[in-house]
Every structure is written in C-alpha cells, then in structure tokens.
Amino acid sequence: MRMRLLLLSLFLSLPSLAADPLPLSDGRTFAGWEGDTNKTWRVVDGAFQAGSLDTKFPRNEFLCTTRQYTNFIVRLKVRLRGTEGFVNGGVQLRSQRITQPPNEMKGYQADIGAGWWGALYDESRRNKMLATPKPEVIQKALKPDDWNDYEIRCHDRRIQIFLNGVQTVDYTETDETLPQFGRIGLQIHGDGKTEIAYKEITIQESEVR
C-alpha cells in the first residue's frame, strides 16, 4: 500500500506535457518574436543571429517571444563566437521587458559564455548567479565555437538546464513573491566583439498544477 501511494505521488508530481514540441521559429521570419529586427537581429540560414566578430556590440539586446509561458521545456541550438571583450549571451525564461536600463529584460537567464555556460542568472532583477555547474562538467559537455544544444525545463518553481544532454543546474526558487511566468528571450551581451546565433527553437508546454 505504501509503495502504491509513493508511486502515485511521484506520478502526480510529474509535469503533464503536450504531445509534441512546437516550433517557436519558422526559420525565415520574426513571426511570434519582437525586438530590434532592423539593426540588431537578422535571420541567417534558419537561425536568429546578432553581432559581429569585427565590431564591439554596444549594449545588451534581446529578441523575445510575444507570448508568455509558465511551465514548459524549451530546446534550442546556440553558437557563440567572439574575438574580444565580454563574449556572452543567454536565454531568458519567465521574463519581462523593462525600460531601464533600455532594451533590457528581467528574469531568469540560462547563461552562455566562457565561465557562464550552463549557469542560471537573475538578469536585471537580483543581478546574481542563482546556480552554477562545476567547471569540469562544462569542460566535458561544451563544444567551443560550435553549435551546442540547450534544454531548459521550467515546472512550478523548479528550473533545470541541460547542455548537450548533460544536466548543469537544478534550481528551486524559494522566493514566493517572484512570478513564475513570462516571455522567452534571446540575448546578445554588450561590450564584446561577439557573434551569436540561435536556431531550431521548440517549446513543449505542460499543465499548471
């Protein structure tokens, strides 16, 4: 009887996922996304791309979904290249646009960059690292200057990050005042000669319990 109750409780604690992941990009246009699509963001070979290896990018810019999401699994491929300065980007989760600083977003971020890959940061809110993987985990999983797979699972107050199939973060939010819904965003960080690209972005939503 105890075993049955335990198995039932474990089953009920699992997210109820939609049947199939849905694409968040058509690979040709910015449909379903908003941001500076005139100067910063472009579509190249099916990927959202920003930046240059020759010129320092002046400030943070974000391309984000027009829809908001609560519980989900988002999967994507990201490639980060850089030659100088702070070469960095990130995937915003459960985030919102803010006006100060200009063009920023606030919320959880799956970080991208040397020393930051696979970590969870709180962008423009608490401005601190929430969870970090061990360096040896990233060293083993990362493909430098190449396409890397990110899988990010958000369910209730729990956030998990996987880099190329290796779990890097398992974080549970303890501050119950923070909203657990919002937009998904793609960042290019300022102050670096950086080129970043994101492609094959899908989302698989789950029910709110």
* pLDDT score at 90: 98
Task: Look up the pTM and report it.
Answer: 0.91
Q: Do the Cβ atoms of 118 and 169 come closer than 8 Å?
A: yes
Of 127, 136, 190, residue with least CA distance to 168 = 136
Which residues have C-beta within 8 Å of that of residue 194, sequence separation ≥ 6?
51, 52, 53, 57, 80, 81, 82, 85, 86, 87, 88, 89, 188
Under a CB-based contact definition with an 8 Å cutoff, are residues 82 and 195 in contact?
Answer: yes
Cα angle 154, 160, 162; round to 5: 125
Please give the Cα distance from 123 to 111 (Å, whole number).
10
Domain boundaries, the chain: 17-205
What pLDDT score was predicted for residue 114? 97
Find out whether 193 and 55 touch, Cβ atoms under 8 Å: yes
Distances (CA, A) of 138 to 8, 52, 146, 161: 35, 25, 14, 12
Evaluate whether 197 touches 55 at the Cβ level (below 8 Å): no
d(CA 149, CA 79): 9
Q: pLDDT (tens digit, 0 to 9) for every residue of the chain, 209 residues total? A: 554 444 444 444 455 566 699 999 999 999 999 999 999 999 999 999 999 999 999 999 999 999 999 999 999 999 999 999 999 999 999 999 998 888 899 999 999 999 999 999 999 999 999 999 999 999 999 999 999 999 999 999 999 999 999 999 999 999 999 999 999 999 999 999 999 999 999 999 986 54
Architecture of domain 17-205: Sandwich (2.60)
**Cα distances (angstroms) measured from residue 45 to each of 32, 40, 49, 126, 184:** 18, 16, 9, 36, 21
SS3 assignment, position 2:
helix
